[in-house]
Amino acid sequence: MGVKFLNVLLSWTLLMSGDAARVARHNTTKAAGRVSHMFTFGAPHPSNPKITTKSGGCIKGYRVTAWRDDLFVDNEDIVPTLLVPSTYDQPNVKTLAVNGKGSGVQSTWSCGSNPIRFTNPSVSLHDKQGYMDKMDLLDSSYSRAKTASRFLLMSYDHDKSAVRKAAAAEGWRLVGTAPINGGEDVSHLFQEPGSLRCILTFEGSDEWDDWLNNAKVKSASYCGLPMRVHTGFMDELRKMVNSDTWQNEIRPKLGKCSSVDTMGHSLGGATVTLFTACADFQNGSEDYQKISWTTERSKLMSQV
Is residue 21 one of the residues assigned to a domain?
Answer: no
Q: Domain with 102 in it: what CATH number? A: 3.40.50
Please report the pLDDT score of residue 215 as a whole number.
55
Is residue 297 one of the residues assigned to a domain?
Answer: no
Q: What total number of domains does the chain contain?
A: 1
Please report the pLDDT score of residue 208 as a whole number.
44
Please report the pLDDT score of residue 181 as a whole number.
77
Neighbours of 114 (CB within 10 A): 16
| 104 alpha-carbon distance from chain centroid | 22
Please report the pLDDT score of residue 7 as a whole number.
40
> Is 157 within 8 Å of 166 (Cβ atoms)?
yes
Please report the pLDDT score of residue 216 as a whole number.
57
How far from 241 is each of 157, 177, 279, 301, CA to CA, in Å? 18, 12, 12, 21
Q: How buried is 287 (Cβ within 10 angstroms: 0-12 exposed, 13-18 middle, 19+ buried)?
A: buried
Is residue 36 one of the residues assigned to a domain?
Answer: yes
Is residue 6 one of the residues assigned to a domain?
Answer: no
Give me the residues paired with residue 221 across strands: 228
Please report the pLDDT score of residue 194 as a whole number.
97
Give the closest residue to 272 by CA, choosing from 128, 61, 21, 106. 61
What pLDDT tens digit does each residue of the chain (304 aa) get? 443 433 433 333 333 333 333 333 332 467 999 999 999 999 999 999 999 999 999 999 999 999 999 888 999 999 998 866 668 899 999 999 999 999 999 999 999 998 888 899 999 999 999 999 999 999 999 999 999 999 999 999 999 999 999 999 999 999 999 998 777 899 999 999 999 999 999 999 765 454 445 555 789 999 999 999 999 899 999 999 999 999 999 999 999 999 999 999 999 999 999 999 999 999 999 999 999 999 999 999 999 9
Please report the pLDDT score of residue 39 as a whole number.
98
Domain that holds residue 66: 32-291
Region of residue 117 (left: phi > 0; alpha: psi -120 to 50; beta: else): beta
Is residue 23 one of the residues assigned to a domain?
Answer: no
Is residue 142 one of the residues assigned to a domain?
Answer: yes
Is residue 228 one of the residues assigned to a domain?
Answer: yes
The angle, 0 to 180 degrees and rounded to 10, between the axes of the packed helices 267-281 and 231-241 is: 70
Which pTM value belongs to this model? Answer: 0.88
Is residue 282 one of the residues assigned to a domain?
Answer: yes
